[in-house]
Amino acid sequence: AIFVLSHGDNNGNIYAHDYCYNFEKEIQNCLTAKECPKLAGKPKLIFTQACQGQMTDRGIQVQNGNTDGGESYRIAKFSDFLIYQASYKNCVANRLSDSGSWFVQALCSRINQCDKRESILDTLTEVSRDIALREDDGFSKQQPLLQSTMIRDLYLKC
């Protein structure tokens, strides 16, 4: 698993102290089965706490409605990626100066609470819900972005 906690922009860049990295080109693509054959068939989890732009999501009011076994096989080079980003494209990732980022707080809390029968995708869906429904200042909302090409369930606890 890789955790990136930094600043970002709407062009997919992550800013480090010494360099600006393009997330897709310089992080994700380096981990593909083609570029890193030893990671083929293994889960690659990337968590990013960084803005993806400067837009603040103000939210909208909504009404409640009703509404494997040893055989050889080929996989796509982008198989088994799970990328979880603190904010949706072009949006800020909220943080409080005294207690830190909403994303890291919710992620750590839910991982500590998760049951061993709960897959990582189930846990991350709960994290997304916690953050999406969070009310702090009444003006700012946040929606994490979860992308998965996982081809198996993954459990954090056994």
Q: Give the active site residues.
A: 7, 51
Query: Could you tell me the two tokens for 93?
Result: 């990732």
**44-49 sheet: strands from edge to edge:** 2-5, 44-49, 81-85, 145-148
User: What does the chain come to in residues?
Assistant: 158
Q: At 120, which helix (H) or strand (E)? A: helix 120-132
Query: Could you tell me the two tokens for 116?
Result: 């061993």
